[in-house]
Amino acid sequence: MPKLPPYFAALDLNQMLTDHPIGDEFVARFSKISRDELRAQQNRLFMNCVRRAWQIPFYQRLWGNGGAKLGDIASLDDIEKLPVFSKSDIMDSLGEKPPFGDFGGLDFADPHHAPAVMHTTSGTTGTPQVLLFGPKTREIQNLLVARAYIWQGMTGADVVHSVYGHGMVNAGHYMREAVLHFTNATFMSAGTGVETRSVQQVQLMKRFGATVIVGFIDYVKRLAQVAREEGLIPGKDIKIRMISGHFGRENIKEISAMWGGAECFDWYGVGDTGIISSEGPDHNGMYVWEDAQYVEILDVDTGKPVSDGESGDIVTTVLFKDDIYPMIRFNTHDVSAFYAENTNTVLNFKRLQGIFGRSDNMVKLRGINVFPHGIGGVLNARPEFKGEFFCRATRDAKGRDEMLVMIEVDAAPSEELKQAFQSLLKTRIGVEMNVELHTPGALASLTEVDQRQKPKRLSDERFKKI
């Protein structure tokens, strides 16, 4: 038998699919599994991760500084003895041990180091963060995304149009691998508007008969507008039947209508962890992939667990990352809540209510926590709103914080309409904000919606030196 190359030698596909099934096996197993059985699997995988983490300088330092000692963690029940970490800790590691940091557990100077997949974040807010995946880690992340797509209805007959970015960032490569390795669908790697012009994208979708779109929803919306500008009717000339992406607080019904009635599915994950949760065909919340992710919801201010139904930071432990870059109690700083009840569900998994915003760019206005990324969901209540907005946080000479919400509308700007939006924001969010109305497309230079996977939504000018 020929010797396998390092990447493939590090994989045990049968074990991966046993621990984390997809397709019919996935539904059959996790619709019936007991919470005790699920906990046993979580505990087994968790302890593998803990053993690996203790071998890595980053965790030795993090946990040691937090007062944890080798042997303190005997099971998943002890997880709260370990400190939470976040992206800032990873960036500190990169600064101290450039260029790869000391969180991966690899010596890249050793020619026989374990194989690794490397990406970075976009770096739009500073130095790009390194992302590392071992072969097993990478392929389990891929199969978990494919699990969502297949469950949502993707088949081998679909042509999948992806608007995830490529280059050094992870998402575009990750989704291509998920579809290619674990489904039989045809994948079109169009990328962002910078990689493939928006006009060309809608022509490609028509030419090759795209049936599914995957990607960040802001740009998915933009493509529907471009299609109409080019004389193409979504649903007729471009027969999209399914959209799977990241809706946040977006109006799913509106986006479905923009694409001729396509069925829309929300899912959630971050670059370091892979997919964490996904909506299914029952459209009953986003089921946490509890066989692969142990998710806690912690209070934004105290870091203590909150009750189901209460919102807080999503903190996740990736249960399969026991090779490279373990992730144990990673604070995503995305804000969500578990459903208080788990009734009428098709899987015996917990569910997230959605992504409400981010705590790390939260702006506190007169005692109220405001999450700029969540404002779009509020604005959707007005039919004039065209989906694009931008926030400016400022501080006046007396130290009073203010927020200006700039909104694209398809109606003639008027004082009456401005007051309607201001009233809506105050009623729904609980604090008064200023509003400025703009014509469609006018905010593109601020949001960079045609250039970025995730448009900018906030300019925090409160602490800028004058």
Residue 183's contacts (CB-CB under 8 Å, 6 or more residues apart) are: 146, 149, 150, 154, 155, 156
pLDDT at 466: 44
Dist CA 145 CA 277 (whole Å): 9
Residue 149 lies in a domain: no
Instruction: Answer whether 90's CB lies under 8 Å from 126's CB.
Output: no
Residue 345, in any domain of the structure: no
pLDDT value of position 464: 64
Predicted TM-score of the model (pTM): 0.83
- Which DSSP letter does residue 464 get? -
**CA–CA separation, 212 and 189 (whole Å):** 12
Give the position of tokens 């970015």.
165
Residue-level pLDDT at 125: 52
| Residue 426 is assigned to a structural domain of this protein | yes
Three-state SS for 96? Answer: helix
Beta-strand relationship, 351-352 and 286-288: antiparallel
Please list, in sequence order, all residues whose beta carbon lies within 8 angstroms of the beta carbon of residue 432, skipping any fewer than 6 positions away: 422, 425, 426
Question: What backbone torsions phi and psi does residue 349 show, to the nearest 5 degrees?
Answer: -115, 150
CB 190 within 8 A of CB 196: yes
The pLDDT assigned to 342 comes to 81
Q: Tell me which residue of 351, 374, 210 sits closest to 284, measured CA to CA.
A: 351
Please tell me the distance from the alpha carbon of residue 30 to that of residue 278, in angstroms, as a whole number.
14
Tens-level pLDDT at each residue, the chain (466 residues): 688 999 999 999 999 999 999 999 999 999 999 999 999 999 999 999 999 999 999 999 999 999 999 999 999 999 999 999 999 999 999 999 999 999 999 999 999 999 999 999 876 556 789 999 999 999 999 999 999 999 999 999 999 999 999 989 899 999 999 999 999 999 999 998 889 999 999 999 999 999 999 998 878 988 999 999 999 999 999 999 999 999 877 789 989 999 999 999 999 999 999 999 999 999 999 999 999 999 999 998 899 999 999 999 999 999 999 999 999 999 999 999 999 988 889 999 999 999 887 877 777 776 677 878 779 888 988 999 998 999 999 988 766 789 999 999 999 999 999 999 999 999 988 889 999 999 999 999 998 887 776 788 888 887 665 4
Rounded alpha-carbon distances, angstroms, from residue 255 to 129, 241, 243, 372: 32, 12, 9, 20
Pairing of strands 351-352, 363-365: unpaired
What is each CA distance from 278 to 144, 281, 341, in whole angstroms? 10, 10, 17
Residue 262 lies in a domain: no
Beta strand spans in 329-456 (E): 330-336, 351-352, 357-358, 363-365, 368-370, 385-395, 401-409, 434-438
**Lookup: tokens for 61:** 């330092």
Closest to 385 in 3D by CA, of 428, 438, 449: 438
CA neighbours within 13 Å on the CB side: how many for 282?
12
Kindly state the helix (H) or strand (E) to which residue 60 belongs, with its residue range: helix 57-65
Q: How many residues in total does the chain contain?
A: 466
Q: How far apart are CA 312 and CA 310, in angstroms?
A: 7
Alpha carbon of residue 210 to chain centroid: 24
* Sequence-ordered list of residues with C-beta below 8 angstroms from that of 202, at least 6 positions apart, any chain: 223, 226, 227, 230, 232, 238
DSSP string, 261-306: S-EEEEEEEETTTEEEEEE-TT-SSEEE-TTTEEEEEE-TTT--B-
CB neighbour list of residue 141: distance below 8 Å, 6 or more residues apart: 133, 174, 178, 274, 275
Q: Is residue 129 part of a domain?
A: no
Enclosing domain of residue 370: 363-460
In a domain, 386, yes or no: yes
Residue 399 lies in a domain: yes
Domain count, the chain: 1
Domain-located, residue 83: no
Question: What secondary structure letter does DSSP report for 367?
Answer: T
Give the Cα separation of 11 and 136 in Å (integer).
5
Q: Which among 269, 277, 268, 353 is positioned nearest to 309, based on CA atoms?
A: 353
Q: Where do we find the tokens 């979580």?
A: 42
The C-alpha atoms of residue 148 and residue 154 are separated, in whole angstroms, by 9
Domain with residue 415: its CATH number is 3.30.300.30
Contacts 24+ apart (CB under 8 A), 16-20: 16/136, 16/139, 16/140, 16/143, 17/143, 19/45, 19/291, 19/320, 20/140, 20/143, 20/144, 20/147, 20/289, 20/291, 20/292, 20/320
- Report residue 146 as tokens: 């494919």
